[in-house]
Amino acid sequence: MNQLSFIGIAIITLIAITAWQSHHNKNKRYLYKNNFNVLHQNDSVIKNNNDSSQLKKSIVIILNGPSTAGKSSIQKELQKIFPQPLLAMGIDSLFVKMIPEKYFSLNSNLNNILWTTISQDHHANRVCTLHIGQDGEKIINGMHNTIIAYAQAGNHIVVDYINYDASWFTQLQSLLKTIDTIIDLYVIKITAPLDVLERREKERNIPHIVGHVRSHYNNVHNNVYYDLEIDTAQFSSAECAQQIYNLICKQYS
């Protein structure tokens, strides 16, 4: 074979490869936001950031962790970088802020929603324990069903969650399983050392809640299995959000 023939074959081969790549690229999808430019090859991912089309599945992110762990700050950072509307909801918006204010000053004899008791642990540390009554459990049940309703309607959501009672997450998980064919679920452990959380608690300057994080610190992660664990003492809220975002992107790569 002379040199001219060899060059001709090489050119034909290059043209064929280029044509295949062009056809192959038509099936690729992109998820892009700010300095994130992550390539995906899954039809569930939107074509590009300016496309009004939706992901075929709702993305549900559960941030579970103790009070003052930084979950709400991570929610806000995730909303900044997520390329589609990401709705923030959870224990504050769907439970605490829905309860009439007058009930927060009542003890267990006067309401059946929620109340606190003050005690000491074996090291004489103050412990502020939150108790949920039967009426409070109804609100928790409503919170769980609201989360499901938003996801079922096709929304992407990030949930600030505190698993005060192991039965709560069991209930939520059971509800999520009923729609598992239309959602992509990510359960994230948000934590930090107790001394860090207690320092943050004191910095909030709300004396009557001091000792609250200690009351549930050792139990909040019971019976919960995670896709990712993040220590917020080691990373900023933005860095935590990026870790979660990268996890989601990896699932579509």
Average pLDDT rounded to a whole number, residues 46-75: 77
* pLDDT at residue 158 is higher than 60: yes
DSSP string, 143-184: HHHHHHHHHHTT-EEEEEE--SSHHHHHHHHHHHHTTTTSEE
Give the per-residue pLDDT at 29.
34
> How remote is the C-alpha of 145 from its chain's centroid?
17
Average pLDDT rounded to a whole number, residues 15-28: 41
Please check whether residue 209 is in contact with residue 104, taking contact to mean a CB–CB distance below 8 angstroms.
Answer: no
- Of 125, 133, 69, the residue nearest 106 (C-alpha): 133
Give the per-residue pLDDT at 104.
81
Average pLDDT rounded to a whole number, residues 184-192: 97
Report pTM. 0.79
- Of 58, 82, 46, the residue nearest 238 (C-alpha): 82
Instruction: Classify residue 213 by burial, with Cβ atoms within 10 Å: 0-12, 13-18, 19+.
Output: buried
Q: How far is Cα 80 from Cα 53, in angstroms, rounded to an integer? A: 19
CA distances from 11 to 6, 21, 23 (A): 9, 15, 19
200-244 pLDDT, tens digit each: 999 999 888 899 999 999 999 998 999 999 999 999 999 999 999
> How remote is the C-alpha of 31 from its chain's centroid?
18
The pLDDT-based confidence of 21 (bands split at 50, 70, 90) is very low
List the end-to-end C-alpha distance of the chain, in Å, as a whole number. 43
Give the per-residue pLDDT at 233.
98
Q: In the chain, what are the domain boundaries?
A: 1-52, 54-251
Superfamily of domain 54-251: P-loop containing nucleotide triphosphate hydrolases (3.40.50.300)
Give the per-residue pLDDT at 72.
97
